[in-house]
Amino acid sequence: MSEEERKYYESEAKRKWQKENTVFIGVKLQKSTDADILQFLEGKQRQTVIKSALREYIQNHQPTTEAQPAEEKPAVDYSWFFEDEDENEQ
């Protein structure tokens, strides 16, 4: 198998896996009204920051019922997201 054929089959396998195992969710941000978000995300791994922020939000906003108390989850330390900002402010 040639290098070109190998790359084609690898990319086909990757596309198939992604189609079966992932979902794309796009977020469009407006430069003027969402400038604070865009500035915060600048230079960071956007997908990682957004997924971590959503997980933290979910953890803090899970509805609880009296019949079944919410499961206690360990606290997650997200301070590493802000390390480079803390250094810039000093």
Q: How many folded domains does the chain comprise? A: 1
pLDDT at 50: 95
The pTM for the full model equals 0.55
Measuring CA to CA, which residue among 53, 41, 32 is closest to residue 85?
A: 41
Q: Is residue 90 part of a domain?
A: no
Q: Which of 6, 9, 51 is nearest to 27 (CA)?
A: 51
How far apart CA 11 and CA 4 sit, in angstroms, is 11
> Which pLDDT score is estimated for 31?
97
Kindly tell me if the per-residue pLDDT of 90 is higher than 60: no
Mean pLDDT of 31-57: 96
Which tens digit of pLDDT belongs to each residue from 50-78? 999 999 999 999 876 655 556 666 666 76
Q: Is residue 27 part of a domain?
A: yes
Rounded-to-10 torsion of CA 38, 42, 45, 50: -20
- Which structural domain range is residue 77 located in? 3-61+70-85
